[in-house]
Amino acid sequence: MIRYIARRLLQSIPTLLGITILSYLLMSFAPGGPVRALLFGPNTRPEQLARVAAVLGLNDPIPIQYLRWLLGDDWMRWDSDGDGIADGSFILPLDADGDGIPEPPGMSKGFLRGDWGKSFIQRRPVDLIIAERIPATLELGVASLLVSIVVGLPIGIYAAVKRGRIFDNTTRVLAVIFNAVPVFWLGLVLIIIFGVLLKDANGGPFLPMGGRRPPTSVGLPPIWERLNYLILPTFVLATGGIAGFSRFMRASMLDVINQDYMRTARAKGLDNRTVWFRHGARNALIPIATFLGPSITGLLGGAAITEKVFSWPGLGQVGIDAVLQLDYPIIMAVVVISAIATILGYLLSDILYALIDPRIRFD
């Protein structure tokens, strides 16, 4: 198993590199650019745009910009006059202040060496921004995934056992509805219902309409003190997972429910709960492993919309803001994190195969 995981991780390196190249090209060819976003206004002079572009290093050719982001630029410079300043460079000269005299820009170590750069808009290190936002995304993602599994799998099992009856037909219709309803629309409807129409004993919203904590609190309270802030975004993000897990589990359970070992278990006099969950559900979980890994990545993608609707301060919200503001360093960091999550999600699916079915071996 260890050799298989190591081999898969090595094979994912070219994939990850290709994703970064494609993403950087798409950003570079997008209309506008971060300079326009920073200095948007009718009175902005062309020399101001050129000066800011030089400071951000956007005047270099796209391959040089990509290499600077990936590997840094300290290896591309040298001390040409022996004064201790790396003023010689393979990169085009940088005139940061527009006085016609090129100055040596600050050196970068590159993404691969832990230097994620600075945000164009916030002027803060990207790694600090990401580190602040990831806990909120993980909190929301883990909560919604647990709700999806805990609710979706039993619904799928019971729907298969009661095939063709009211419960089965009702859950199938609801699964189609929840899959078809847009996440942002469902979130807005729930905000209107629980935040505007329904009131608590004090006349305030029955559930918070957004945020992760009370605005008057100092710091971040423990999760059990702010569960009310987690209910609505978790439900919205979990609806698709519940629908998917229940439908997958129902189809898989129908495939194993009439197998010989299931009939043998009934013939031995075992109760229905033991037959369904101990003998049937474990074998039915094997196809679910295919769905579980990508669903983890899907939570990150779906969380972007959910976090924006509910003002949840997570990675998805900062990613959307970065796209709207053309903040390239943050966009690339979010792209890389999402790509790594996708690769690890599919790897997790393969590992779950072996854990659920002992007949599967990778070595």
Q: Looking at the predicted structure, is the pLDDT value of residue 192 above 90? A: yes
Q: Residue 103's pLDDT band (boundaries 50, 70, 90)?
A: very low
Domain boundary pick from 78, 113, 148: 113
**What confidence score (pLDDT) does residue 356 get?**
67
Q: Are residues 316 and 190 in the same domain?
A: yes
CATH number at residue 342: 1.10.3720.10
Q: Are residues 152 and 46 in the same domain?
A: no
Residue 79 to residue 88: CA distance in whole angstroms: 6
When pLDDT is averaged across residues 298-323 and rounded to a whole number, the result is 82
Confirm whether 194 is domain-assigned: yes
Domain boundary pick from 113, 145, 180: 113
Q: Are residues 59 and 186 in the same domain?
A: no
Q: Are residues 151 and 269 in the same domain?
A: yes
**What confidence score (pLDDT) does residue 258 get?**
76
Confirm whether 164 is domain-assigned: yes
**What confidence score (pLDDT) does residue 235 get?**
92
Residue 212 to residue 232: CA distance in whole angstroms: 11
Q: How many domains does the chain have?
A: 2
**What confidence score (pLDDT) does residue 360 get?**
64
Q: Looking at the predicted structure, is the pLDDT value of residue 189 above 90? A: yes
Q: Are 297 and 342 in contact (CB under 8 A)?
A: yes
Tokens of 152: 């979706």
Q: Looking at the predicted structure, is the pLDDT value of residue 93 above 50? A: no
Q: Are residues 184 and 300 in the same domain?
A: yes
- Other C-beta atoms closer than 10 Å to the C-beta of 268 total 9
Written in H, E and C, the secondary structure of 92-140 is: CCCCCCCCCCCCCCCCCCCHHHCCCCECCCCCCEHHHHHHHHHHHHHHH
**What confidence score (pLDDT) does residue 97 get?**
47
- Other C-beta atoms closer than 10 Å to the C-beta of 231 total 14
Q: Can you say whether the dihedral through the CA atoms of 69, 46, 98, 95 is positive or negative?
A: positive
Provide the residue range defining the domain that includes 309. 126-356
Using a pLDDT cut of 70, give the percent of the chain over it. 83
**What confidence score (pLDDT) does residue 83 get?**
53
Domain boundary pick from 113, 144, 159: 113
Q: Are residues 56 and 138 in the same domain?
A: no
**What confidence score (pLDDT) does residue 185 get?**
92
Q: Are residues 234 and 177 in the same domain?
A: yes
Please state which of the ranges 72-86, 130-144, 158-172, 330-344 shows the lowest mean pLDDT: 72-86
Q: Are residues 260 and 178 in the same domain?
A: yes
Q: Are residues 177 and 208 in the same domain?
A: yes
Q: Residue 317's pLDDT band (boundaries 50, 70, 90)?
A: confident
Confirm whether 27 is domain-assigned: no
Q: Are 335 and 20 in contact (CB under 8 A)?
A: yes
Give the number of residues written for the chain.
363
Q: What is the pTM of this model?
A: 0.78
Q: Are residues 192 and 332 in the same domain?
A: yes
Looking at residue 149, the DSSP 8-state letter turns out to be H
Q: Looking at the predicted structure, is the pLDDT value of residue 102 above 50? A: no
Q: Is the model more confident about 76 or about 332? A: 332
Confirm whether 75 is domain-assigned: yes
Q: Are residues 90 and 172 in the same domain?
A: no
Confirm whether 308 is domain-assigned: yes
Confirm whether 62 is domain-assigned: yes
